[in-house]
Structures are given as structure tokens and as C-alpha cells.
């Protein structure tokens, strides 16, 4: 990898100018080691989030209350697995292996989105996740379609198309519930109550506390700040909640005439950091589930390798 070679100050300046002028970076181009490292971290965290994200929604596949909802949910969870694969491939263009990245997830050194450390307690959570979590993911990811690193940007174009489909399906599920029986309406409201704040926190800590932001903005890995993206999500979602006839669980929520934006009350960042540190309701469960699947599948992967070796030996004998 050329990116591994230390560049001169001239290389660095040229890179900054190229990226600053909205130029794209491709795997074969020289890039600063820190740029590659940041991308590997960000892309792999995103890939891990897709893979772990299969669990909370997968939890309701067996009980989906209609066959139509069942196939929609199955296809959605399958899409998320596919997103994980595109993203691992994008990360591999930076010289890391998927095995290495998966190992980091399994041994708990890699992070993934904290949102998936909350439990899905009712069927309405499937709707709330599609509507809010995929909704927040889209707000986060649409700008990344224009980020400086080519393979990441291209993976994101494909992913965003599917995420917006998921978001619409989630919203439609919430609509069916909120137009339904009293029990269904209560279920929808309860799901919104539990998923609202974690979704708002999906954009990460407030701009003042965000460690990597400045350099990432300069490198065009990040195009908007956490707070800008969060605001966009809030404005969009408040209107949608109104259309659903559901109440955002925030007594301080108000429309600010001066800025033209909805303002939320205080965000509980202690909760955010506590979940990031591993103390969310499902951190241990999600990781244990992934490890179990990985360990239970070891003999299958070994058999595939052994069979491939036998086949190679057989065709070598035939050729000889």
C-alpha cells in the first residue's frame, strides 16, 4: 500500500489541496496514514453496526403478525447483512483484512453504533427502528455519498437507497399501528418513547466534545457536524411524528421562530457515554450472540477450507 509510505510535506500539501477541492481519493493513490486509519475505523464501525443491527430486528422475524410484514422484515435484515459486506469490502481497499476487522468486533475492541444496545421489546419496535434509526442513518450517510474516499462514497450510494426504503417501510408500519386499535396506538407511542432519545444520540456527542471532527471535515470524511445532522433529523422527524399522531417524549420540545428549527430539551449524555462504555441494556447480549454464532460456525468454515484443499489436490492429480 502506498498509503503506508511516509509522504513528504509536499505530498501532504498536495493531498490536502486535492481533497479540499472536492477531489476523490482512490485506493491506489497516496494518502496520509492518519487519513487511512481514520477511514478504516469509521468504515469498519459502520460495517459492525450493520451486522450487530441484524439482531434487534431479527428478534421479531419469527413473530411478525402477517406474512407480508414477515417478508418485509426478513428482506430488511438481509439488506443490513449486505451493507455489512459492502462496507467490509470498502475497508479492505485500505489494506486491512475482513478477518482482522471481524476479530476486533468479536474481542470487543471495535465499536458499533450504540443504538443497537437497546432491546426491541414489542412488535412496534420494528417500526420505530425503521422509521427512526434508518431515518437517522440516512441523515448521517447521505453526505458520505460525497465524501473524499471513492470506495466508501460508492458503497454509501447503494446503501442509502436501501436505507430510505427501510425508513419508508418503518414509517408505514408505525402508521398502521397508530391508525389501529387502542392497544396498537399505545404500543406505537411506547416504542417512540423508548427509541426517540437513543436515536437523537446516534449523531454522536455535541460538536464541542467531538474529538475527530475538525480534521475529518478538512479531509472531507465528514461533511457536516454532529449537531447540524442531529438538527436536520429532529426537524424532519417532528413533522413525521405529527403525521402519525404520536407525541415526541420531550416536554421541552419547541419551535424556535428565530432559527426556524425545532429545539429539543436537554440530552442525557451520561446515558450515551454509559452505553458507549458497555453499560447499555444489551451490549453484553449482542456481543455474546455474535461470538456464539462465530464459534458455532467454526466447523463449517473449517470444512469449507478442507474441502477446497481436497478439490485442489484432486484437480492437480488429474492435471499430472
Q: Is 313 in the site for other proteins (CB under 8 A)?
A: no
**Which of the listed partners (other proteins, Fe ion, none) does 123 bind, with a CB threshold of 5 to 8 Å by partner kind?**
other proteins
Contacts of 232 (CB under 8 A, 6+ apart): 139, 224
What character string, x for contact with other proteins (CB under 8 A) and - otherwise, covers 77-116?
xx--xx-xx-------------------------------
CA atoms within 13 A on the CB side of 265: 9
Indicate which of other proteins, Fe ion, none lies near residue 134 (CB less than 5 to 8 Å, by partner kind). Answer: Fe ion
Distance between CA atoms of 128 and 195, rounded to whole angstroms?
7
User: Residue 166: which of Fe ion, other proteins, none does it interact with, CB under 5 to 8 A by kind?
Assistant: Fe ion
Using the CB atoms, write b or e for 244-278: b if 16+ within 10 Å: bebebbbeebeeeeeeeebebeeeeeeebeebbee
Piece in contact with other proteins (CB under 8 A), picked from 3-11, 179-187, 225-233, 259-267:
179-187
- Smallest separation, CB 242 to other proteins (Å): 22
Task: Assess 186 for contact with other proteins (CB under 8 A).
Answer: no
Residue numbers 24-63 binding other proteins by CB under 8 A: 51, 54-55, 58, 61-63
Q: Cell 458520505 maps to which residue?
A: 144
Label residues 1-15 b or e (16+ Cβ within 10 Å = b). eebeeebeeeeeeeb
Among 123, 131, 195, 196, binds other proteins (CB under 8 A): 123
Residues that bind other proteins (CB under 8 A): 51, 54-55, 58, 61-71, 74-75, 77-78, 81-82, 84-85, 123, 176-177, 180-181, 183-184, 289, 292-293, 296-304, 306-307, 310
Amino acid at each position: 500500500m502506498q498509503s503506508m509510505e511516509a509522504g513528504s510535506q509536499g505530498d501532504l500539501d498536495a493531498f490536502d489541496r486535492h481533497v479540499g477541492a472536492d477531489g476523490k481519493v482512490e485506493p491506489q493513490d497516496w494518502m496520509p496514514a492518519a487519513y487511512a486509519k481514520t477511514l478504516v475505523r469509521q468504515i469498519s464501525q459502520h460495517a459492525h453496526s450493520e451486522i450487530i443491527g441484524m439482531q434487534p430486528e431479527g428478534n421479531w422475524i419469527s413473530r411478525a403478525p402477517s406474512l407480508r410484514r414477515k417478508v418485509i422484515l426478513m428482506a430488511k435484515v438481509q439488506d443490513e447483512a449486505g451493507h455489512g459486506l459492502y462496507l467490509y469490502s470498502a475497508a479492505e481497499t485500505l489494506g486491512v483484512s475482513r478477518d482482522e476487522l471481524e476479530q476486533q468486533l468479536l474481542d470487543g475492541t471495535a465499536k458499533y453504533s450504540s443504538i443497537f444496545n437497546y432491546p426491541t421489546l414489542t412488535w412496534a419496535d420494528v417500526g420505530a427502528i425503521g422509521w427512526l434509526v434508518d431515518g437517522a442513518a440516512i441523515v448521517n450517510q447521505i453526505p458520505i455519498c460525497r465524501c473524499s474516499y471513492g470506495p466508501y462514497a460508492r458503497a454509501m450510494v447503494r446503501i442509502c437507497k436501501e436505507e430510505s426504503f427501510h425508513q419508508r417501510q418503518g414509517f408505514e408500519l408505525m402508521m398502521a399501528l397508530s391508525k389501529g386499535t387502542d392497544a396498537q396506538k399505545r404500543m406505537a407511542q411506547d416504542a417512540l418513547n423508548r427509541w426517540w432519545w437513543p436515536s437523537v444520540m446516534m449523531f454522536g456527542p455535541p460538536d464541542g466534545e467531538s474529538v475527530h471532527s475538525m480534521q475529518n471535515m478538512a479531509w472531507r470524511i465528514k461533511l457536516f457536524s454532529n449537531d447540524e445532522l442531529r438538527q436536520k433529523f429532529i426537524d424532519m422527524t417532528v413533522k413525521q411524528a405529527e403525521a402519525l399522531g404520536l407525541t415526541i417524549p420531550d416536554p421541552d420540545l419547541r419551535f424556535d421562530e428565530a432559527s426556524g428549527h425545532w429545539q429539543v430539551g436537554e440530552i442525557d449524555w451520561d446515558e450515551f457515554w454509559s452505553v458507549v462504555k458497555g453499560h447499555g441494556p444489551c451490549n453484553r447480549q449482542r456481543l455474546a450472540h455474535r461470538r456464539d454464532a462465530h464459534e458455532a460456525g467454526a466447523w463449517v468454515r473449517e470444512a469449507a477450507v478442507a474441502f477446497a484443499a481436497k478439490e485442489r489436490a484432486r484437480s492437480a492429480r488429474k492435471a499430472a
